[in-house]
Amino acid sequence: MGFRNIAIIAHVDHGKTTLVDAILKQTRTFAEHEQIVDRVMDSMDLERERGITIASKNTAVEYKGHKINICDTPGHADFGGEVERVLSMVEGAMLLVDASEGPLPQTRFVLRKAMEAGLTLMVCINKIDRQDARPEEVLQEVYDLFIELDADEDQLEFPVLYAVARDGVAHLELGDDHTDLRPLLDAIVEHVPPPAEPEPGAVPQLLVTNLDYDPYVGRLALGRLFGAPLKKGQQVRWFGTDGEKNVRLQLLYTWNGLKRTEVSEAEPGDIIAVAGIEGITVGDTISAGDNPRALPRVTVDEPTIGMTITINTSPLSGKEGKFLTARQIRERLERELLFNVSIKVEPGETAESFKVYGRGELQLSVLVEQMRREGFELSLSRPQVRTKEDDEGNELEPYEEVTIDVPDEHVGAMTQQMASRKGEMKDLITDGSGRSRLIYRIPSRGLIGFRGEMLTQTRGEGVVNALFDGWDLHAGAIARRPNGGIISDRAGKTTAYSLFHLQPRGTLFVGPGTEVYEGMIVGEHVRENDLNVNAVRGKQLTNFRASGSDDKTILAPPKVMSLEEAMEFIDNDEWVEVTPQSIRLRKRVLKSNERSIVRRES
């Protein structure tokens, strides 16, 4: 049986996982009695809730005597490390592009990585059934992107298909009479080269690019097998970060659809999993034979943004979570490092704190959300960018290329916002349909907190995407949050009477009956200074009645923040308190007489 290994790469929400769903259904991977869910590859709860792919996964289908290993990759730039790992396992990549939106920032990122890896490329224009689809123009934009990335003549001769992944239909030409995905599967078999034939005397080499866990057999190391076959029970050499070690392979697995199948021997060119090597991690190599050799370790782009994670020290700590200590937090972060090569962890300023670096705020918030659901209680700082120095001692900071898609009437507000954040406009595109696309180059610092303000100003109609664009000289001071906080000055439960009289002072984050403590942020002040308030004051009850004293207490709904919004909102002297059931904002110094109400740069 011949092998074809292919990764499906695209910008977020361009239809990768939906396309894999359709391929699995049409190749009869599922039994007739099986219950099939949409986006079956998105197996994590967070992936289903957010509608995005967070972790790369692989599956396999059989088609016309060939086994096609398909790797589904994340489409968000924050999870680019997953894409870089997967590309080392395949010979080909299918670039999926939305027939309306065209190439977007992550399209450029994944395409550049695929070209650097020397993969055979295919292009599929998806969602051609959209009312605003423009497949011919989008194809020309794809050609322009290839040329912009210095593609050679062979790379520009890519096959093009058109698809409606949701309906499971692919076309070689627009308007042809195909009604299934056979044209796409035929193109994969025809254009993606099979794994190279091993040289005489080659030894088996398995580069670990992902990890999984099975409750019965323990840790599983996943990767692409090169060179020669591996056998169950074989003695192999494990090349890890701490040196070399001889181990025995207890179990071998390969994929059939979404299921792991135990095999006695794995062939070179296949994507496999091995069990029985405790402590193995991403980047390690398993080899065997007379002259076992290690493969180069997986390298990914370095993280650019980080935050401090520490223990929860609020008066309400320990009431909701199970894991509260610094030791437990350290062990959880160390486990994350085994699976996630794009995250770095460094010691913090105190023994109880840790600096965690990633590709973006979304990646960091997903990690915190996973820990929160596992029962951890944490305190988080405001995200900060990493800086470094060049050879001449100048301070450098990361920059992003950001694409903002908004209705035409909001272009002026976005231009003003980006100017205050040191953004430099590169392009402004209007498509004549009432929407405009602005492309800026901006320091990564300038994007912290921008997404929330953009959604507020565009009434939820704006879309923003960012892509790392290298390091450059420090851009100077950037405007921070303009408003102060409304801070509770005592502990207790909030009352409707008190909150009713606080409403004119700003936007409230809590409703009546919420337990608060001194130093907890209960709202956003309309002015730039912090305001200490009594949010638990009750109405004084007397025997006397007066006209007008019994006005109705009408409260506006409180603004409930998501984890990402809370991380963007806080200032440098504040924490986000995260527990399994609550997200609270608080001052680092809780006592009101120990901190100033004047917000200073820090």
Reported as a single tens digit per residue, the pLDDT across 140-177 is: 989 988 888 888 888 888 899 998 888 888 888 888 88
Round to whole Å and give the CA distance between 479 and 481: 7
Round to whole Å and give the CA distance between 308 and 298: 26
Give the burial class of 391: count Cβ atoms within 10 A of its Cβ; 0-12 exposed, 13-18 middle, 19 or more buried. Answer: exposed
Report which of residues 165 and 57 the model is more confident about: 165
What tokens appear for 201 in the block? 């005397």
Helices (H), 132-179: 135-148, 153-156
**CA separation (Å) from 228 to 206, 287, 428?**
10, 10, 53
**Given this model, what pLDDT does residue 33 score?**
46
**Given this model, what pLDDT does residue 602 score?**
42
Amino acid at 300: V
Query: Where in the chain is CATH 2.40.50.250?
Result: 485-594
Report which of residues 25 and 526 the model is more confident about: 526
Model confidence, pTM? 0.75
Query: Where in the chain is CATH 3.30.70.240?
Result: 388-473
Closest of 418, 415, 414, 410 to residue 434, by C-alpha: 410
Query: Where in the chain is CATH 3.30.70.870?
Result: 305-385
**Given this model, what pLDDT does residue 435 score?**
81
Among 71-75, 424-428, 436-440, 507-511, the range scoring the smallest mean pLDDT is: 71-75
**Given this model, what pLDDT does residue 378 score?**
92
Express as a percent the part of the chain with pLDDT over 70.
Answer: 91
Q: Do residues 42 and 6 touch, judged by C-beta distance below 8 A?
A: no
Span 440-458, pLDDT tens digits: 999 988 888 787 778 778 8
Name the pLDDT band for 116 (thresholds 50, 70, 90).
Answer: confident
CATH code given to domain 305-385: 3.30.70.870
Of 3.40.140.10, 3.40.50.300, 3.30.930.10, 3.30.43.10, the CATH number of 2-191 is: 3.40.50.300
Report which of residues 147 and 213 the model is more confident about: 147
Q: With 70 as the cut, is the pLDDT of residue 467 above it?
A: yes
Q: In the structure, how many helices (H) and strands (E) does the chain have?
A: 14, 35
Mean pLDDT value of segment 134-139 = 90
Q: Do residues 592 and 579 touch, judged by C-beta distance below 8 A?
A: no
Secondary structure of residue 166 in the 3-state scheme: helix
Query: What backbone phi and psi angles, to 5 degrees, belong to 336?
Result: -65, -35
Q: Hey, what CATH topology would domain 388-473 get?
A: Alpha-Beta Plaits (3.30.70)
What tokens appear for 320 in the block? 């909701």
**Given this model, what pLDDT does residue 598 score?**
61
Secondary structure of residue 5 in the 3-state scheme: strand
Query: Where in the chain is CATH 3.40.50.300?
Result: 2-191
Helices (H), 80-214: 80-86, 105-116, 135-148, 153-156, 182-191
What tokens appear for 576 in the block? 């986000």
What tokens appear for 96 in the block? 């999926």
Q: With 80 as the cut, is the pLDDT of residue 1 above it?
A: no
Q: Does domain 485-594 have CATH number 2.40.50.250?
A: yes
Round to whole Å and give the CA distance between 235 and 287: 9
Query: Where in the chain is CATH 2.40.30.10?
Result: 205-287
Query: What backbone phi and psi angles, to 5 degrees, belong to 586?
Result: -150, 160
Report which of residues 143 and 462 the model is more confident about: 143
Span 188-208, pLDDT tens digits: 888 888 887 777 778 888 888
Q: Where are the beta strands (DSSP E) in 290-422?
A: 305-311, 344-347, 353-358, 378-380, 384-385, 388-389, 395-407
Span 299-311, pLDDT tens digits: 666 788 889 999 9
**Given this model, what pLDDT does residue 521 score?**
92
Q: With 70 as the cut, is the pLDDT of residue 80 above it?
A: no
CATH code given to domain 205-287: 2.40.30.10
Mean pLDDT value of segment 349-371 = 87
Q: Residue 548, Cα to own-chain centre: how many angstroms?
A: 54
Span 522-577, pLDDT tens digits: 999 998 888 999 998 888 777 666 555 556 778 888 988 888 888 888 888 889 99
Q: With 70 as the cut, is the pLDDT of residue 256 above it?
A: yes
- Please state, rounded to an integer, the average pLDDT across all residues of the chain: 83
Secondary structure of residue 362 in the 3-state scheme: helix
Closest of 510, 552, 563 to residue 533, by C-alpha: 510
Span 316-339, pLDDT tens digits: 988 888 988 999 999 999 888 877
Secondary structure of residue 113 in the 3-state scheme: helix
